[in-house]
Amino acid sequence: MRKFYTLLAREVRSYFHSPIAYIVLIFFLIVSGIDFYFQVSFMNQRQVQYTIQEAFFNSVFFWFAFVLTFPLLTMRLFAEEFKLGTIEPLTTVPVHDWQVVLSKFFGALIFYVILWIPTVLYFWIFLKITKQPAAHSGGAYWGSYLMLLLLGMFYLSIGCFTSVLTRNQIIAAIISFCAITLLFFLGLVQFILLDVTSTARDLLGYFSAIEHMGTFSRGIIDTRPIVLYVSMTIVMLTLTYQAFQSRKWRL
């Protein structure tokens, strides 16, 4: 376990050793801040049926910033080690390959969580200033942040997988960006294809991140997306592990 923590600590620290961490943090704060500001001013102008918290987690701004962060967070994980050759000292010490893979995944996840912490402040400030709660209930907060964590896990595991496939960070970023965007827009197809049969639309709906976020941000904790994202994360991490081990069986 100590070896795993050592690896994990190094992963988290390496984010803060590189400028990428700060660029992503600042970019993310700006976009989510503007998002929050727009939602509040929008609500000031007219009567709406939803709360500020729901609006914040379901806006275009939010999704744009959301999808873009994953390739940036994950592209260097393995690709950089391959490129610099540091994978060689790393895999010739007595650590298991799964420890390396999991430490990289959880390192990225920890940074991702850090990324989201400031947004909690927005709601607190809203509450302090307007003397009105930002959501219907406490469950809505838990639901939104749980969904963020689940989506984050899944998309980060996709990023891990694309990073282990190549030694070029740009290629890793492009592949994971395409994969995540495609997955994401798959959920939008149901809004476009109005004439498709209801089963097809329902089926796509099961995979729609927007749909899931809509449900969870109202405080409804549906177990189906939880199972979906946790199992998909495990699948992607298993693939990552296999690809990482491929140096052992590739001819």
Residues interacting with other proteins, by CB under 8 A?
2-3, 6-7, 10, 14, 17-18, 84-89, 91-96, 247-249, 251
Spatial CB neighbours of 112, under 8 Å, sequence gap ≥ 6: 69, 73, 152, 156
Q: Whole-angstrom Cα distance, residue 116 to residue 55? A: 16
Contact 216/147 with Cβ under 8 angstroms? Answer: yes
For the chain, helix (H) and strand (E) counts, in that order, are 13, 0
Identity of the residue, 23 or 227, whose beta carbon is nearer to other proteins in the bound complex: 23
Shortest Cβ distance from residue 195 to other proteins (Å)?
Answer: 51
Identity of the residue, 17 or 131, whose beta carbon is nearer to other proteins in the bound complex: 17
Shortest Cβ distance from residue 96 to other proteins (Å)?
Answer: 7
Identity of the residue, 88 or 202, whose beta carbon is nearer to other proteins in the bound complex: 88
Identity of the residue, 9 or 48, whose beta carbon is nearer to other proteins in the bound complex: 9
Q: At what angle do helices 19-45 and 2-17 cross, to 10 degrees?
A: 70
Shortest Cβ distance from residue 7 to other proteins (Å)?
Answer: 7
Spatial CB neighbours of 182, under 8 Å, sequence gap ≥ 6: none
Fill in the DSSP letter of residue 95.
Answer: -
Identity of the residue, 182 or 251, whose beta carbon is nearer to other proteins in the bound complex: 251
Contact 188/205 with Cβ under 8 angstroms? Answer: no
Both tokens of residue 107? 């390192």
Identity of the residue, 6 or 137, whose beta carbon is nearer to other proteins in the bound complex: 6
**Apex 231 CA angle, 228 and 237, nearest 5:** 135
Residues shown for the chain: 251
Q: What single letter denotes the amino acid at residue 108?
A: A
Shortest Cβ distance from residue 48 to other proteins (Å)?
Answer: 47
Shortest Cβ distance from residue 107 to other proteins (Å)?
Answer: 14
Shortest Cβ distance from residue 156 to other proteins (Å)?
Answer: 21
Identity of the residue, 2 or 131, whose beta carbon is nearer to other proteins in the bound complex: 2
**Best CA proximity match to 203, nearest among 217, 216, 187, 215:** 187
Shortest Cβ distance from residue 222 to other proteins (Å)?
Answer: 41
